[in-house]
Amino acid sequence: MSRKPATPGPRDADASRRTFFALWPDPPARDALAARARDTAVEAQGRAPVAENLHLTLAFLGDVAATRIATLRAIGLAVASAVPPFTLTLDRAGAFRGAGIAWAGASATPPELERLVQLLSGALAKEGFPTERRAFQPHVTLARRCRGPASAGIAAPIAWRVKRITLNASETLPGGPQYHELADWRLGPPA
């Protein structure tokens, strides 16, 4: 269940894809998050995502017509070039109790991340895509379908250098979600 590049297939022009923009942790951060996710799932009696699926969602778009993916690619390119790379540190844990989700989050959101989300939301709204009305709360889901409480903290902060954003498609399969990378962009102005 990895983020495989999307391969062209026999899709008609009206087909839609469940899409989202995200940040993916580098391998050391992903491994630390996967270990924390396994522990959290045991504590909270939930299910941890596979390590390759751990990510931070910047904007969830839902079903988007294939004909509009090019617009999302243009938005991703413009937004990524306007924000420099930054370090994201996940140093707290929490839960969306009604949804049964335990997560790792940042006690301080880097200004670059706030700017990235602001630019992305503005560009998406301008092109008529749905945007989240709730305030952005950066987090990585550690466990789903939790039936009990998880620990309230993260013993050692987990940090990674964010250097790129991605546009992804999601497929729901019997074994869990599978993500396909549609495009990615390095942060910062083009070289």
> Active-site residue numbers?
55, 139
Residue 138: DSSP 8-state: -
Closest to 136 measured CA to CA, from 18, 40, 17, 22: 22
Which residues, other chains included, contact 95 with Cβ-Cβ below 8 Å and sequence gap of 6+? Answer: 44, 101, 102, 103, 146, 149, 150
CB 91 within 8 Å of CB 107: yes
Kindly compute the dihedral angle of the four CA atoms of residues 111, 164, 119, 125, in this order, to the nearest 10 degrees. -140
SS3 180: strand
Centroid of chain to Cα 37: 15
State the residue for tokens 């050692």: 156
